[in-house]
Amino acid sequence: MSEACLRQKLVQAGYREVDVAKVDRATLLEYYAKVLLTETAYVPAKKEQEEGEEAASDGEEEAEFAESDTGVQNTAGGESDAGVQHTAGGDKAPAERLLLLEMRKLDEQRLQRELEERKWQQQQEVQKMQVELQRMQLEQQREEQRMQRELEEKRLEEQRLQREQQLEMQRMQLEQQNEEQRRQREFQEMKWREDRAYKESTAVQIKTWVDALRNTITKMPNEGIDVVSWFVSIDKLFEQLNVPADLQAILIRPYLSDRAKLLMSKCDPTYSAKYESIKAFFT
């Protein structure tokens, strides 16, 4: 029962509104107990006996009723001395039981509220724990995702480095192949130039033509008319073989007669170096 209801019932029972407005809830309950004692002063004997037997069935409850009776009487006397006006009388045991029941009910309600509050607090704690757990799970998921991203980035970076290394190796191999091919070309060109220079050298050409003219030129005769015929055959042979003009004088010398060699040794070297000069000298 609320305090407003208690004050209202006390005013209806005869208490002054000014007095009940100043007291607390415990005092209001004591006043209300006195009112109940007055209202239940003429309870029939049978009902009172039944209530007494019901009270006697529980020794602890009866002892509580006795203690409450003493306290209520003392409080009632004190309030009379303080000048609070009320009208109470008769047997007080039923009123005390009602008061105790009301107080027990209030205690039960208080306990119920405490239980509900505790349950609510537990629910709040559970919700907080669930929220914290969800937060931790979310943080763990984010951390795992971050680690996965880092691993993926690291893997991609390694792949990029591997590709760069492969490209660098391929580039180096290609450069090495190109360098090797260049060196080979240079070597072949140098060898070709050396071979060409060797083949184009005077000594090689002389040897080549000597080998080619061997057994094709006869020795120069000693008679004058035969000498003319010999030079005519030599001219035809040089023309057919396309013998170089600068080598004709050298190629013919081994085939000159001994007298002709002696005469040529006495001539100017510039004169004896030309085939036409030699032919003109002897023809």
Of the residues 83, 98, 114, which one is the last residue of a structural domain? 114
Instruction: Write down which residue in 89, 114, 139 finishes a domain.
Output: 114
Residue 253: domain span: 203-282
Q: Name residue 189's amino acid.
A: E
Domain contains 165? no
Which tokens belong to 257?
A: 């007669």
User: In this structure, is residue 195 part of a structural domain?
Assistant: no
Residue 185 lies in a domain: no
Residue 175: inside a domain: no
Output the tens digit of pLDDT for each of the chain's 283 residues: 677 887 887 888 888 887 878 778 777 777 777 777 665 544 444 444 444 444 444 444 434 433 444 343 333 333 333 333 333 334 446 767 777 788 888 888 888 888 889 899 988 888 988 898 899 999 999 999 999 999 999 999 999 999 999 999 999 999 999 999 999 998 898 888 877 776 666 677 778 787 778 777 888 887 777 888 888 888 888 888 888 888 888 888 888 888 888 888 787 777 777 888 888 887 7
Q: Does residue 180 lie in a domain region? A: no
Count the domains in the chain. Answer: 2
Please state the three-class secondary structure of 154-218 as a single string.
HHHHHHHHHHHHHHHHHHHHHHHHHHHHHHHHHHHHHHHHHHHHHHHCHHHHHHHHHHHHCCCCC
End position of a domain, from candidates 114, 131, 147: 114
Would residue 197 count as lying in a domain? no
Q: How far is CA 43 from CA 25, 91, 102, 266, in A?
A: 27, 8, 19, 190
In-domain check, residue 216: yes
Structural domain contains residue 187: no
